[in-house]
Amino acid sequence: MQIKKLYSDSLAFAEKDLKLAFRYKVNFFAQTFLTPLTTVMPFLLVYSGYFLLGGTQVENLSDTTFVTFLLIGTIVNITLRLGFNRYLNKFKLEKYWQTLDAISITPISKLSLILGGMIDGLVSVIPGIIIISFAAYLFFPTSLAVVLPFVVLIIFALIISLCLGLIAGLASIFNENYSTIFQYSLLGIVFLSCFFYPISFFDNHPILALLKTIVLINPYYHIVTLMRGVWFGTGFSTQSFIFVSMFVVAMPFISVALFNWVWKRFTVEGY
């Protein structure tokens, strides 16, 4: 019964949010697809330039693998951004619309906010991910067996980013300063996830080596590495997968508990 209600609530959220998002379609596509594509562009240009000028190797990347390497990074980047920004933008709007008040008093589990976000998140990223994967395939063909691990890992990435986003969005409705702080901290996460360069890049300087320890506990690094591993056939680390799974299981409960606690304790200000 509980599970059934959770499922139908999540579907209701997904349906409502997709309808709201499609009121202004260009915004929606720009936020989800164009921003990540513009982030990968400089890297594509720099790497291509290097290889065109006769370079043969950047760390372990070669001229046959680098495009696919970057495109897989972009897929995770899209997923990260979508989940992370989801509530930051939405909660602020819904705060002004006062619909957040309406939702806060309905008899639902806040878990359905995350599950609903996952459903409409998937619906919105899947078209872009299919296109990008197709491009990645053109540059470095692989077996169709990667589809299943890809889907699972993308869902994992989405869940973690939605949980982070829920916390960021919540902090922002109580104090809008956080909205900006979190938006910039997203850049930090992207930098420490190795979407656009191999992790060996961090071995080149003592300060970077320090940052490498953070990279190693960043679940996005493990997700993108696992995805590249299955695509290029260089191996699948079970250890990494278990590490990421732990985040996926724990984060929803932590963020929902935090949500409930904060909601009770603070008064929404600054309408």
Partner 1 sequence: MPSAIAVENLVKTYRAKESSKNFFKGVLAPQYTTVTAVDNVNLDIKQGEIFGLLGTNGAGKTTLIKCLTGVMSPDSGSIYLNNKSIEESRHRLGVMFSSSMIYNRITGYDNLKFFAKLYGVEEYEKRIAELAETFEITRYLPRLVEGYSLGTKTRLAFARTLLHDPDILFLDEPTLGLDPYIGANIRKVIKDLDKTILLTTHYMEDADELCDRIGILHQGKIIATGSPEQLKKMVKSHTSIVIESSYPSPQLQAELKKAPFVLAFYKREHGLKILIDHKNDLSKLLKILARYNLTKIDEHEPSLEDVFIKLTGAQHAD
Q: Which residues bind partner 1 (CB under 8 A)?
A: 5, 8-9, 11-12, 15-16, 19-20, 23, 97-99, 101-108, 264-265, 267-269
In angstroms, give the least distance from the CB of 99 to partner 1: 6
In angstroms, give the least distance from the CB of 22 to partner 1: 9
CA–CA gap between residue 115 and residue 113 (Å, rounded): 6
CA–CA gap between residue 242 and residue 230 (Å, rounded): 16
In angstroms, give the least distance from the CB of 24 to partner 1: 8
Contact 220, 193 (CB under 8 A): yes
In angstroms, give the least distance from the CB of 173 to partner 1: 13
Between 20 and 155, CB nearer to partner 1: 20
Between 99 and 218, CB nearer to partner 1: 99
Cα separations (Å) of 208 from 69, 105, 199, 214?
A: 21, 47, 10, 10
In angstroms, give the least distance from the CB of 15 to partner 1: 7
How many Cβ atoms from other residues are within 10 Å of residue 6's Cβ?
Answer: 16
Instruction: Calculate the CA dihedral of residues 195, 67, 231, 141 and round it to 10 degrees.
Output: 170
Between 11 and 152, CB nearer to partner 1: 11
Between 213 and 260, CB nearer to partner 1: 260
Segment 179-186 long-range contacts (CB within 8 Å, at least 24 positions apart): 179/88, 179/92, 182/84, 182/88, 183/85, 183/88, 186/80, 186/81, 186/84, 186/85
**Geometric angle at alpha carbon 204, from 198 and 208, rounded to 5°:** 80
Between 44 and 262, CB nearer to partner 1: 262
Instruction: Calculate the CA dihedral of residues 128, 129, 130, 134 and round it to 10 degrees.
Output: 110
Contact 76, 158 (CB under 8 A): no
In angstroms, give the least distance from the CB of 251 to partner 1: 23
Between 99 and 179, CB nearer to partner 1: 99
106 three-state secondary structure: coil
Between 175 and 204, CB nearer to partner 1: 175
In angstroms, give the least distance from the CB of 119 to partner 1: 13
CA–CA gap between residue 266 and residue 38 (Å, rounded): 38
